[in-house]
């Protein structure tokens, strides 16, 4: 076969992917191999990423101290146990295709001394409030501090993003003061801080959200993602006068006063619009921060403003200050930020794109003014994002309702509010995705139910009296196809068909991929357990660390941020609350799957995991029955500041794609089946699905200076960006 080198000059590189003919290619982040090495009793255990853009035939070579360790390329897994490895060994992994190693962008690692890596943090200083007390709204104080309440900090919810463009995730940490409060409680809180750290512990920046942002699970939902496709992640969150960005500058609009204090400080006010500790007056902002430096890039007025408290359903700011947030590919190609306010009664969602480093509002839904189906009162303390109607664009699953990509209500079940929800291909025998949701509304026809994610149609459910506060779905039992489900009030564990399979129930918290099989394990607090069919066995019991969010006992983060497709768990060190540990599995597996972070449903779940009552991530497809039918995702990845002539995945270069005399010219060593041409914003400019030739020409439109070309041949899809 003739080898053709692609010689195109462009600043942003799009990788290759195997895809369905008419699928929309999503723009996602470039990742390196994520190689991790851990010292174990029998040598050194290593694992690394198989990327969503990799050729399926790619193998890997492992080098210890620049000496090849394996006798032939590793093609059936992405982990390896090196019996001769020591704590001083230095490792690298090289992808191999057709006997040729790819030596670009190689990184070396040294083994961790134990199953976790400790990251030193920069804990904020302790503080003391003015005169304070706290308690449930309208009730006598649970604690009173006439001389001020001392408070300290511990690491709370975390997220990840590549803020410096090196292909490695940085960790974004939200610091929680010990006096943080739920919306339904009064009490002054300390400031909230958001930090960024590299995996080696390097401290990058700190954002001080200031005294006018209250601390608690419902106030600060922060999004970390590359919103504008420059290869660098940004951070978006709610701010106010008093916020200081990562460079030390005030975040302020117009003539607002950065020193203004809008908190309610009257200790006699324990309910109503002046309830102690709440912030129910003053400006509200939404800010886009640069992920690399924490610098403010753009600040706009938060939409919608709180307005009349009663419009949200109460008089003391409980329901008006219930926020959620997510990232969604509303056009199928580019990520948008969606900021949400309210779900008990009035419900609002506003989507934003990032253009020229500015937040640009796309659409807004407000149940108080929108016609048609109403989402009022149909939300949870969490949300999810997936393409549920199979049009290539994401929908936002808000629990008992869902929103289409254009911000209209797709459906409502009418089952009301709940605390926990899970979205995935829960039942692989049914087409599409399903939702497992629990409910607390007394008028709800179900306390737990599974419904179709695209239509809201109830598939099965159950009902008993009471507030069903917890619900869990995970593929924990290989004897049954699909996920298993259970909840706080359910009488046992159920299959995805609604059949009770056990009177026992495991923990109702998080799921995690940890051992070598394709089923879910269970993460609860600092312990990972495995379902046996009638109970559980313990796989990891971490000591000296703590989970977050009080009785919710959630990790700082659970995500596939290193190594192969199994997930890491982040927990904070209790010795001084100034460190985070990253735990990774050391269990070998013969299953090879691309990085979970290259599955759009999973990656977006990591972006929303920190929202309110944290829920675990799920894949957008089912793997419990095996990986034989799993396809590589249709994604393109963007590498920061890359101006060379290299295709990001160099293994497949079957076509020469170039511009000459205003024409798109394609010469391929294989038969071309289809050519699709997109604008830089993702709009389809041209498509031909029946070419059946090795050469193809097309007159380029003059109005489009930059075009994305997708060529499909027998081996898959090649994507290139050309300048017109």
The 3-class secondary structure across 427-482, one letter per residue, is CCCCCCCEEEEECCCCCCCCCEEEEECCCCCEEEEECCCCCCCCEEEECCCCCCCC
User: Which residue from 76, 155, 156 is spatially nearest to 121, judged by alpha carbons?
Assistant: 155
pLDDT at 700: 86
Contact in structure between 33 and 47 (CB atoms under 8 Å)? no
Distance CA 604, CA 663 (A): 38
pLDDT for 676: 85
For the residues 144-152, what does the mean pLDDT come to?
98
In this model, does residue 461 exceed pLDDT 70?
A: yes
Residue 680, pLDDT score: 62
CB 249 within 8 A of CB 293: no
Pair of tokens at residue 103: 């030596």
Confidence of residue 609 (pLDDT cuts 50, 70, 90): very high
pLDDT digits (tens, 9 = 90+) for 373-386: 999 999 999 999 99
Q: What is the dihedral of CA 713, 716, 721, 724, to 10 degrees?
A: 10
Residue 385, C-beta contacts closer than 8 angstroms, at least 6 positions apart: 326, 327, 328, 394, 395, 396, 397, 601, 604, 605, 608
- Alpha-carbon span 81 to 257, nearest angstrom: 59
State the CB neighbour count (10 A cutoff) for residue 445.
14
Residue-level pLDDT at 175: 98
How many whole angstroms separate alpha carbon 437 and alpha carbon 454?
14
Q: What letter does residue 550 receive in the DSSP assignment? A: G
Given pLDDT bands bounded at 50, 70 and 90, which one contains residue 480? very high
Coil, helix or strand at residue 581: strand
* pLDDT above 70 for 393: yes
Q: What is the pLDDT of residue 22?
A: 39
Q: How many CB atoms lie within 10 A of CB 495?
A: 19
Q: Which two tokens stand for residue 353?
A: 């794109």
Mean pLDDT of 393-419: 97
Mean pLDDT, range 111-124, rounded to an integer: 98
Percent of the chain with pLDDT over 90: 83
pLDDT 10s digits, 273-331: 999 999 999 999 999 999 999 999 999 999 999 999 999 999 999 999 999 999 999 99
Q: What is the pLDDT of residue 23?
A: 53
User: Is 388's pLDDT higher than 90?
Assistant: yes
Strand partners, 350: 339, 364
d(CA 639, CA 30): 5
pTM over 0.85: yes
* pLDDT value at residue 307: 95
606: which DSSP letter? H
Residue 258 has pLDDT above 80, yes or no: yes
Q: How many CA atoms lie within 13 A of 709 on its CB side?
A: 27
**pLDDT, mean over the chain:** 92
17: pLDDT confidence band, cut at 50, 70 and 90? very low
pLDDT of residue 58: 96
Provide the pLDDT for residue 651. Answer: 35
Using CA atoms, how far apart are residues 391 and 382, in angstroms rounded to an integer?
24
Residue indicated by tokens 């503080």: 127
Mean pLDDT (whole number) for 107-134: 98
Distance between CA atoms of residues 399 and 384, nearest Å: 8
Instruction: Specify whether the CB–CB gap between 448 and 437 falls below 8 A.
Output: yes
* pLDDT tens sequence across 547-559: 999 999 999 999 9
Per the listing, tokens 């016609």 go with: 371
User: Can you give the pLDDT at residue 170?
Assistant: 98
Per-residue pLDDT at 683 exceeds 80: no
Instruction: Indicate the range of 2-11, 362-371, 420-429 predicted with least confidence.
Output: 2-11
Place of tokens 């919710």: 552
Pairing of strands 67-68, 36-40: unpaired
| Whether the Cβ atoms of residue 587 and residue 515 lie closer than 8 Å to each other | yes
Higher-confidence residue: 696 or 5? Answer: 696
The beta-carbon contacts of 519-526 under 8 Å, at least 24 apart in sequence, are: 519/474, 519/475, 519/476, 519/477, 519/478, 519/624, 520/474, 520/475, 520/476, 521/476, 522/474, 522/476, 523/555, 523/558, 523/569, 523/616, 524/553, 525/553, 526/571
d(CA 303, CA 369): 14
* Backbone φ, ψ for residue 179 (5° rounding): -105, 25
**Six-digit token string for 501:** 């399979």
DSSP-derived 3-state class of residue 309: helix
Q: 602 near 433, Cβ under 8 Å? A: no
- CA-nearest of 694, 713, 659 to 9 is 659
pLDDT of res. 644: 30
Vertex 547, ends 542 and 551: CA angle to 5°? 125
What is the DSSP code (8-state) at residue 227?
Answer: -
Cβ–Cβ under 8 Å, residues 299 and 253: yes
pLDDT of residue 681: 62
Residue whose entry in the numeric block shows the structure tokens 């939902």: 221
Whether the per-residue pLDDT at 724 is higher than 90: the answer is no
Judging by beta carbons within 10 Å of its beta carbon (0-12, 13-18, 19+), is residue 662 exposed, middle or buried? exposed
Q: Which residue has the higher pLDDT, 496 or 668?
A: 496
The DSSP secondary structure of 53-113, one letter per residue, reads: TS-TT-EEEEEETTEE-SSS-B-S-SEEEETT--TT--EEEEEEETTEE--TT---B--BS
Residues 6+ apart with CB under 8 A from 100: none
Residue 19 confidence (pLDDT) above 80: no
6 confidence band (pLDDT: 50, 70, 90)? very low
Calculate what percentage of the chain has a pLDDT beyond 70: 94
- Other residues' Cβ atoms within 10 Å of the Cβ of residue 724: 13
Sign of the dihedral defined by the CA atoms of residues 500, 506, 511, 516, in that order? negative
**Under a CB-based contact definition with an 8 Å cutoff, are residues 150 and 128 in contact?**
yes
Q: Which phi and psi (to 5°) does residue 553 adopt? A: 50, 45
Strand 635-638 and strand 26-29: pairing? parallel
Q: Do 493 and 502 form a contact (C-beta atoms < 8 A)?
A: yes
Is the pLDDT confidence value at 212 over 90?
Answer: yes
Residue 117: DSSP 8-state? E
Phi-psi region of 204 (alpha: psi -120 to 50; beta: other; left: phi over 0): alpha
For the chain, the straight-line distance linking the first and the last C-alpha, in angstroms and rounded, comes to 30
Specify whether the backbone of 103 is left (phi greater than 0), alpha (psi in -120 to 50) or beta.
alpha
For residues 445 and 415, the answer to whether their CB atoms sit within 8 Å is yes
Contact between 22 and 690 under an 8 Å Cβ cutoff? The reply is no
When pLDDT is averaged across residues 105-118 and rounded to a whole number, the result is 96
Q: Residues 51-95: pLDDT tens digits?
A: 999 999 999 999 999 999 999 999 999 999 999 999 999 999 999
538-548 pLDDT, tens digit per residue, is 999 999 999 99
- Chain centroid to CA 456: 24
Whether residue 646 is predicted with pLDDT greater than 70 in this model: the reply is: no
Q: How far apart are CA 34 and CA 321, in angstroms?
A: 38
Read off the pLDDT of residues 518-528 as tens digits, 9 standing for 90 and up: 999 999 999 99
> What per-residue confidence (pLDDT) applies to 707?
84
Q: What is the mean predicted confidence (pLDDT) over 624-643?
A: 88
CB neighbours of residue 46 within 10 Å: 27
Please check the confidence at residue 7 and state whether its pLDDT lies above 80: no
């Amino acid at each position: 076969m003739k080898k053709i080198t692609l010689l195109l000059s462009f600043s942003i590189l799009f990788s290759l992917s195997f895809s369905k003919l008419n699928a929309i290619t999503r723009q996602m982040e470039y990742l390196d191999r994520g190689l991790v090495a851990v010292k174990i009793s029998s040598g050194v255990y290593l694992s690394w990423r198989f990327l969503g853009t990799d050729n399926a035939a790619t193998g890997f070579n492992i080098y210890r101290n620049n000496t090849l360790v394996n006798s032939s390329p590793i093609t059936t897994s992405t982990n390896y146990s090196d019996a001769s490895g020591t704590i001083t060994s230095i490792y690298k992994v090289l992808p191999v295709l057709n006997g040729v190693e790819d030596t670009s962008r190689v990184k070396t690692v040294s083994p961790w001394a134990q199953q976790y890596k400790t990251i030193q943090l920069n804990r904020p200083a302790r503080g003391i409030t003015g005169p304070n007390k706290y308690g449930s709204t309208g009730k006598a104080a649970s604690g009173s501090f006439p001389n001020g309440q001392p408070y300290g900090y511990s690491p709370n919810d975390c997220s990840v993003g590549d803020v410096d463009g090196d292909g490695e995730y940085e960790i974004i940490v939200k610091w929680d003061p010990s006096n943080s409060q739920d919306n339904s409680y009064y009490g002054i809180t300390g400031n909230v801080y958001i930090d960024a750290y590299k995996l080696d512990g390097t401290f990058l920046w700190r954002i001080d959200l200031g005294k006018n942002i209250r601390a608690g699970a419902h106030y600060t939902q922060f999004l970390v993602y590359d919103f504008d496709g420059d290869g660098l992640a940004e951070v978006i969150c709610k701010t106010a006068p008093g916020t200081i960005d990562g460079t030390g500058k005030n975040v302020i609009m117009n003539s607002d006063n950065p020193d203004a204090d809008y908190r309610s400080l009257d200790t006699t006010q324990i309910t109503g619009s002046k309830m102690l500790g709440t912030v129910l007056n003053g400006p509200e902002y939404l800010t886009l921060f640069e992920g690399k430096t924490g610098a403010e890039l753009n600040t706009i007025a938060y939409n919608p403003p709180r307005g009349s408290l009663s419009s949200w359903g109460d008089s003391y700011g409980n329901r008006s200050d219930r926020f959620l947030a997510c990232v969604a590919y509303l056009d199928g190609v580019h990520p948008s930020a969606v900021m949400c306010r309210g779900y008990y009664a009035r419900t609002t969602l506003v989507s934003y794109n990032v253009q020229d480093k500015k937040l640009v509002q796309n659409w807004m839904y407000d149940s108080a003014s929108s016609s048609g189906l109403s989402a009022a009162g149909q939300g949870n303390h969490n949300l999810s994002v997936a393409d549920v109607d199979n049009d290539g664009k994401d929908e936002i699953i808000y629990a008992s309702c869902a929103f289409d990509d254009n911000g209209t209500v797709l459906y409502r079940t009418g089952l009301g509010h709940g605390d926990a929800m899970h979205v995935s291909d829960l039942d692989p025998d049914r087409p599409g995705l399903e939702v497992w949701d629990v409910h607390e509304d007394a008028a709800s026809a179900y306390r737990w139910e599974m419904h179709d994610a695209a239509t809201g149609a109830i598939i099965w459910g159950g009902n008993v009296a009471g507030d069903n506060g917890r619900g869990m779905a995970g593929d924990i039992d290989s004897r049954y196809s699909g996920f298993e489900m259970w909840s706080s009030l359910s009488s046992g564990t159920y299959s995805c068909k609604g059949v009770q399979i056990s009177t026992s129930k495991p923990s109702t918290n998080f799921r995690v991929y940890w051992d070598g099989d394709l089923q879910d394990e269970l993460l609860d607090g600092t312990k990972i357990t495995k379902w046996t069919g009638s109970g559980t066995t313990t796989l990891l019991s971490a000591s000296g660390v703590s989970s977050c969010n009080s009785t919710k006992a959630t990790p700082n983060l659970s995500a596939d941020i290193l190594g192969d497709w199994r997930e890491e768990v982040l927990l904070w060190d209790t010795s001084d609350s100034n460190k985070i540990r990253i735990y990774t599995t050391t269990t070998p597996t013969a299953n090879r799957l691309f990085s979970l972070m290259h599955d759009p449903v999973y990656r977006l779940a990591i972006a929303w995991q920190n929202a309110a009552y944290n829920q675990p991530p799920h894949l957008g497809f089912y793997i419990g029955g095996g990986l034989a039918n799993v396809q590589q995702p249709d994604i393109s990845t963007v590498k920061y500041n890359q101006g060379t002539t290299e295709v990001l995945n160099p293994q497949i270069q079957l076509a020469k794609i170039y511009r000459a005399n205003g024409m798109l010219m394609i010469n391929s060593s294989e038969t071309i089946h289809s050519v699709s041409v997109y604008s830089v914003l993702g709009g389809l400019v041209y498509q031909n699905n029946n070419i059946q030739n090795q050469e193809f020409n097309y007159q380029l439109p003059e109005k489009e200076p930059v075009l994305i070309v997708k060529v499909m041949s027998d081996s898959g899809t090649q994507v290139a960006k050309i300048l017109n």
